[in-house]
């Protein structure tokens, strides 16, 4: 079974600075999807960024970018120019292509605090 | 355009009781998945419904069952509640044919079992 590990329960960063959240995963598949989700106090899971394993280029979405190291099975999230609204729980997730769209395996999350 | 809506937002039950949670998918979506998020944990996949049938199931006992209606809305039923069933229950919807379609999540139902 696939597993996703987030080894940083909590992280903090000064407003406007850069922070990197770590994620490692385990799979025997060669093709899969990786995601970072944000969960603010409203509890709704919001997709931040998505990476397809067959793409060598790292995904970017505005201030959010990933460092995808397929051989190392590592998928870190970098948040640049941190803003107060970035404070939330961040979850790394894996999707097995054999199960279609829906079955996501999540890590245990990293709580990100933004210091004004 | 309403996103994924879940009801109720909070619920308190006692051990042994049964509970029903409800989910309306985002407009245009035909697939609903349910996740359980225990305190301090990431969400865990319970099951997924498409065309009114359970298509995939995670590692959850038969006490957890569901239903999908012709209008694509869904219910999650949990029988014989245990203290360990206390969690946030998240519903997510997607469009089956959209391979790269992202999941849209609701804000969840917080279930407390006393």
Domain presence at residue B20: yes
Distance between start and end Cα atoms, chain A: 41
Output the domain CATH number for residue B78.
Answer: 2.60.40.10
The CA distances from residue B5 to A27, A112, B37, B75, in Å, are 33, 26, 17, 12
Domain presence at residue B26: yes
β partners of residue A93:
A35, A106
pLDDT for residue B101 is more than 70:
no
Q: Which of residues 26-65 of B touch A (CB under 8 A)?
A: 31, 33, 35, 40-45, 48, 55-56, 58
Interface membership of A98 toward B (CB under 8 Å): no
pLDDT per residue as tens digits for the range B18-63: 999 999 999 989 999 999 999 999 999 999 999 999 998 999 999 9
Q: Determine the pLDDT at residue A34.
A: 95
**What whole-number distance in Å separates Cα of residue B99 and Cα of residue B114?**
41
Of B58, B102, B106, the CB nearest to A47: B102
Provide the domain limits for residue B9. 5-109
Prior bond of B8 cis (ω within 30°): yes
Domain presence at residue B96: yes
pLDDT for residue B98 is more than 70:
no
pLDDT per residue as tens digits for the range A27-60: 988 889 999 999 999 899 999 999 999 988 999 9
Domain presence at residue B86: yes
Counting residues of chain A whose pLDDT is more than 90, the rounded percentage is 84
Provide the domain limits for residue A97. 3-115
Output the domain CATH number for residue A55.
Answer: 2.60.40.10
- Number of helices (H) and strands (E), helices first, in chain B? 0, 11
Q: What's the rounded mean pLDDT across residues B67-92?
A: 97
Do B92 and B105 form a contact (C-beta atoms < 8 A)? yes
The ranges of chain A with pLDDT < 70 are 98-102
């Amino acid at each position: 079974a696939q597993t996703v590990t987030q080894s940083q329960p909590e992280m903090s960063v000064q407003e406007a600075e850069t922070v990197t959240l770590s994620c490692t995963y385990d799979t025997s598949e060669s093709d899969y999807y990786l995601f970072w989700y944000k969960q603010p106090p409203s509890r709704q899971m919001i997709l931040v960024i998505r990476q397809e394993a067959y793409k060598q280029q790292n995904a970017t979405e505005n201030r959010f970018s990933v460092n995808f190291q397929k051989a190392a099975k590592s998928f870190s999230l970098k948040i640049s120019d941190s803003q107060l609204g970035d404070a939330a729980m961040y979850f790394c997730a894996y999707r097995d292509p054999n199960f279609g769209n829906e079955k996501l395996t999540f890590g245990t999350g990293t709580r990100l605090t933004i210091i004004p | 355009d309403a996103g994924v809506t879940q009801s109720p937002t909070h619920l308190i039950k006692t051990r042994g009781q049964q509970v029903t949670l409800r989910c309306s998918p985002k407009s245009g979506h035909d697939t609903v998945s349910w996740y359980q998020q225990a305190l301090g944990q990431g969400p865990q996949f319970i099951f997924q419904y498409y065309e009114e049938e359970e298509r995939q199931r995670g590692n959850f006992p038969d006490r957890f069952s569901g239903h999908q209606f012709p209008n694509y809305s869904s219910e999650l039923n949990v029988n014989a509640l245990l203290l360990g069933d206390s969690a946030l229950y998240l519903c997510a919807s997607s469009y089956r044919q959209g391979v790269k379609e992202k999941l849209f999540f609701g804000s969840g139902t917080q279930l407390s079992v006393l």
